[in-house]
Amino acid sequence: MMSNFPCFPAPNLPAKTILPNDSVASLRKAAKLSFPAGTWPTFNMNPPHVAIVGATGAVGEEMRRCLEQRDFPVGKLTLLASARSVGKRFPFRGEDLAVQELTHESFAGVDLALFSAGGSISLEFGPSAAAAGAVVIDNSSAFRMDPDVPLVVPEINPQAVKNRPRGIIANPNCTTIISLMALAPLHEAFGLEAVIASSYQAVSGSGAQGILELEEQVKAITAGLPFTPKVYPRQIAFNVIPQVDAFLDNGYTKEEMKMLHEGRKILGLPTLKVSCTCVRVPVYRSHSVSITARFARPVDADAARAAYAGKPGIKVVDDPATRLFPVPLDTTGQDTCLVGRIRRNIVLENALDLWVVGDQVRKGAALNAVQIAEIL
């Protein structure tokens, strides 16, 4: 399980970062929500009945923790998973809750359904949950590019949640979220036009099996024992693999194209140009992304740092003179993304280079889903 993987908290950062209530309120205000008749208005009247689909998985477990840590007003929590997980128990606010089998009838009386069980499960059961009256927040790629499903990062486009004709809201890809947390404030200030990025993605992005493969390979190599890669096409221990997801006909992977298509949708920039290389690295948790971004207006490093001032969910950690820059361990278990190595690009006009890191299980998945629920 995810809770068993090695976690190395940053020495100078708090154990967790919770978006303050006033920040949540500001996101709600920014959303300017006005729901038409027949749609779920808000969760402010009565604490909602929440269901987590995929409750035993890495992200499902993190969703449960986020709900508790952030004091989300849960009237009832239902944990749903496949038949083989029925009866497993997980703690929530002083109770041990038993996992129930996911069926199409599981959503009677459910107000909010958080899905993180893979695209095929979302496609099969998401519409059933919405038809039963639940607002569905889906962490898979199943509905992200559906024009009738908003794709939301609450710090960037919270207003999008109000237009959900299918009753479903999509959570973006983890690398897209972390990258856009750094790019959105710069876009607001300088007008984003193009992005060239390389991601350094932790093995936990592949779930518990990715973590286990790294652990087993490290043990085998240090003991001089043979091993056969199972999760990844090549050895991941002491190595990097320039492939995340399947290759497409254009030479890019599905993961790399998500940055383009999802970035355009979230930012409302249909002409945004993106080229991305996604790399799996032997890090347990937290993704890093190296970004070159070109803008419509002139920009320099000082102006870029100033653009982040007061922006929720992103913090500048950037002082080369003292070797201060963000690394994956700094964001492991944290809610805030960190950006550093900000500098003017010396090849392109009106361009910056920067480095952003974020916990892809939290902000890249579970936390973002719960934050979406907070602004409903």
Q: How many CB atoms lie within 10 A of CB 336?
A: 23
User: In one letter, which amino acid is 1?
Assistant: M
Q: Is residue 174 flagged as an active site residue?
A: yes
Q: Which member of 49, 66, 276, 287 is catalytic?
A: 287
Q: Which member of 66, 174, 278, 337 is catalytic?
A: 174
Residues 62 and 204: beta-carbon distance below 8 Å? no
Structure tokens given for 53: 């689909």
Q: Is residue 337 flagged as an active site residue?
A: no
Residues 316 and 339: beta-carbon distance below 8 Å? yes
Of 241, 247, 243, residue with least CA distance to 214: 241
Output the CA–CA distances (angstroms, integers) from residue 244 to 11, 247, 293, 358, in the order listed: 30, 8, 22, 17
Residues 185 and 311: beta-carbon distance below 8 Å? yes
Q: What is the largest CA-CA distance in the chain?
A: 66
Residues 326 and 340: beta-carbon distance below 8 Å? yes
Catalytic residue list: 174, 287
